[in-house]
Amino acid sequence: MSIFGFIYQYMDNFAFLILAAIGLAVIFGMMGIINLAHGEFIMLGAYITTLATMAGIPLFISIALSALLVGIYGFIIDRLIISKLYGRTLDSVVATWGISMIMAQGMLIIFGPSIQGVGTPLGSLSIGGENYSVYRILLFVIAIAVLGVIYWVFMHTKFGLQSRATMQSQEIARSLGVNTNKVYSLTFMLGAAFAGLTGGLYAPTMAVSPSFGNSFLMQSFVTVIVGGSNPLIGTFLSGGVLGFVNSALNMIWGTFYGRLGLLIVAIIVIRLIPLGFSGLVEKKLMRGRDA
């Protein structure tokens, strides 16, 4: 494999890890809720994009529609179920697990085991005799853009500031007039919208079925665990490192060892830095300020 081949592979893995994990990371990092229905939110996004495209809506508008509709779906789920479980991590795990099963089985009943997919758009690029998918390069650009959007939302908007405050202390935020339940609902909606976006983006690259989200689940959880609670710093660093490990092992020994490498890195990180990369960075920053 050429150098460009490795870079392409790295960009592809990085984008996949970031996009698979970001919705989960936002919900876990800002709300402390482990959303076991994350994969099904991604699956729902893939179905919306596929069905909308088949109905004649242009692909990229269908993808945006996925993000919007899964975001609204997430808001409804939050208001009906998750909002009753704020601060009850284990209960929310059970509830989201139930939601995931209902969604997957519901899709199976409504649409059957699979639906007709849409082809990968934008064609390919030939460099040094090897072909590279332009769409997958675009996914890398979108993954970077998504991180940029998250940075802007959490650092430069009123919602982001309220969200960071609520994450640190719900009680203080409330006493300053912040409606923390609203902040949580919007955060869940944002996380769900990112999952919907990911489903939409990957719908043209994989077979769309009720188990579509399972392909993202392992990578998304490993990325969030290795990254730690800060959705921006954690996901970025984790995606960067895991993407490299995955690409390198993939290139040398193949896909199976690439995936195995992700799990080994996760085990090492949990053992050495239990708070993940973002915990490590925040600790270093605090030490730097104290010095």
Strands, E, within the chain: which ranges?
Answer: 124-127, 130-133
The CA distance from 187 to 83, in Å, is 12
- Smallest gap from Cβ 87 to another protein, in A, equals 14
Among 56, 128, 287, 290, binds another protein (CB under 8 A): 290
Stretch of residues binding another protein (CB under 8 A), selected from 39-47, 134-142, 163-171, 189-197: 163-171
With binding defined as CB under 8 A, does residue 173 bind another protein? yes
Helix (H, G, I), strand (E, B) or coil at 128: coil
Structure tokens at 251: 């290139």
With binding defined as CB under 8 A, does residue 144 bind another protein? no
What single string gives the DSSP state of each residue in 158-206? HHHHHHHHHHH-HHHHHHTT--HHHHHHHHHHHHHHHHHHHHHHHGGGS
Residue 133 phi, psi (nearest 5): -75, 125
* CA pseudo-torsion sign 146, 148, 151, 155: negative
Among 72, 161, 251, 275, binds another protein (CB under 8 A): 161
Among 158, 271, 272, 287, binds another protein (CB under 8 A): 158
As beta bridge partners, residue 126 has: 131
**Residue ranges in 81-133 assigned as alpha helix (H):** 89-111
Stretch of residues binding another protein (CB under 8 A), selected from 88-96, 113-121, 166-174, 258-266: 166-174
Stretch of residues binding another protein (CB under 8 A), selected from 23-31, 83-91, 165-173, 201-209: 165-173
- Smallest gap from Cβ 32 to another protein, in A, equals 16
With binding defined as CB under 8 A, does residue 174 bind another protein? yes
With binding defined as CB under 8 A, does residue 168 bind another protein? yes
Q: Which of 204, 163, 160 is nearest to 184 (CA)?
A: 163
Stretch of residues binding another protein (CB under 8 A), selected from 20-28, 79-87, 100-108, 172-180: 172-180
The CA distance from 83 to 98, in Å, is 15
- Smallest gap from Cβ 229 to another protein, in A, equals 12
- Smallest gap from Cβ 278 to another protein, in A, equals 12
With binding defined as CB under 8 A, does residue 287 bind another protein? no
Rg (CA), the chain: 19
Residue for token pair 């609902």: 185
With binding defined as CB under 8 A, does residue 286 bind another protein? yes
Residues 1-40: x/- map of binding to another protein (CB under 8 A)? ----------------------------------------
With binding defined as CB under 8 A, does residue 291 bind another protein? no
Q: Which of 211, 221, 193, 215 is nearest to 103 (CA)?
A: 211
List interacting residues with another protein (CB under 8 A): 158, 161-162, 164-165, 168-169, 171-180, 282, 286, 289-290
